[in-house]
Structure 1
Amino acid sequence: MNLDQFKIKRDEAFLFTIDMQERLVPAMDQSTFCRSRAERMLQAAEIFGLPGCLTEQYPQGLGASVDEIAAAAEACGHPIFSKISFNACIDEVMAHLRASRRHSIIVTGIETHVCVFQTVRALLEMDYNVFVPEDAVSSRTAENRLNALNQFRDMGACVTNTETLLFDLLGVAGTTEFKAISKLVK
C-alpha cells in the first residue's frame, strides 16, 4: 500500500477555505466548532507560511466571509474569490493554485456535501492529494456531512482532523513554530 497520499509536506501544502459566509455558517451543524477549526487552520497557515485562498458562494446573497475567517485569511495573505459554481475550482482559483506550485490541498469549509464535495472531487480528478480535516467542514445536517466524508474516503482523499494535520506539518518539537502551534491547540 502506497501511503504517500496520507503524508502532507509543508512545502507542498495549500489551504483551501470554502464558503465560510455570514448567512451560511449559522445554519450549519456544530457551526461554532467548525468555524473555530477552519480559523485554526488559517492561523496555522500564517505560522507555516502556507499559500491558500478563500471562496465565497454568491456573496451578494449569502454575505461575506465571517469576520474571524476573513481576518485570519487576510493575516496570511490568502485572497478571496467570488463564485457562483458549487465546485470552487473556478479558473481564477486554479490559476492561483497552479502559481503556488503546491500539490497537497487541505480543504475546509461548508457545505461538506455540496461545495466542499464538488471541489474535493474536482481536485482528485486533477490528481491533487486532498486532505479534509473532518472537524473543519460542516453541513446543515450531520448525516449529509458524514455521507460526504465517507465518499471522500472512497474517492481517495485523506479524511483527517486539524490537530493531526498541524502536527504532521510541524514534524518536530522544540521550534518556535512548535510553540505557536501548541498555543493554537490548547
Structure 2
Amino acid sequence: MDTHDLLEFLLTRRSVPVRLHADPPPDDATLRRLLTAAARVPDHGKLVPFRFEVLRCAASDRLAAVTREVGTAQGRDPDKLVKQSAAFEDARLTVAVVFSPRTDSAIPLIEQEQTAALACLSLVNAAQAAGFAGHWLTGWMARDPAFLRAGLGIEPPEVVAGFVHLGTPTAAPAARPRPDLDAITRWVET
C-alpha cells in the first residue's frame, strides 16, 4: 500500500452531493467490501453499536414519500421538505447506518454514537476510494421517532447516525472552504 497516495486521498477527498450521483451504484459484492471497511472503526468495548440497512431505489423512494408525509404533518417548511426528500429520490443506493446503543454497557453512550458516526465516514471514504460517489446526510429524519417508525421500523433508543448515499459520480464537486488550521490548532508543550 502506498501510504503517500492514501494520505493524498484523505487530504483531497470531498463528499459528492447526491444530485451528482448516477448509475451504477456499487454492486452487492463491492458493497459488501465497502461495508466491511466501514465496520472496521474504533469501538470501545467491541460493542458494535451500529448496523447497516441497505436501501435500494424503491426503499429510498418510499423514504422520500415518508419524509414529505411526516414532515408535512409536523408543519415543517415545505421548501426544505422538497430538498430533503430529493436526496432519497436521487439516491441510487442508500445505507442507513443505525445507531443501536448498548444501554447494558458501561461504555458511555457518546462513545458508542461516535463509533456509529465513524462507520458513516468510513463508508463514504471506502466508496470514494473504490471510485464511487458518497454523501453522508442526516437531517431531522435521522432522529425523528415518527419518521424512523414509518420509514424504517426503528424504535427508540435507536436512531440513524447517517444516511450514506452511494452512486457513480457524474462530476467533481465544487471546492469548498476548509478550516484555517492555525485558527483551530493549539500546540501545547508543557
Q: Shorter chain as normaliser: what TM range?
A: under 0.3
Higher helix fraction: Structure 1 or Structure 2?
1
In our comparison, the structure showing a higher alpha carbon Rg is 2
User: Relative contact order, CA 8 A, sep 6+: which one is greater?
Assistant: 2
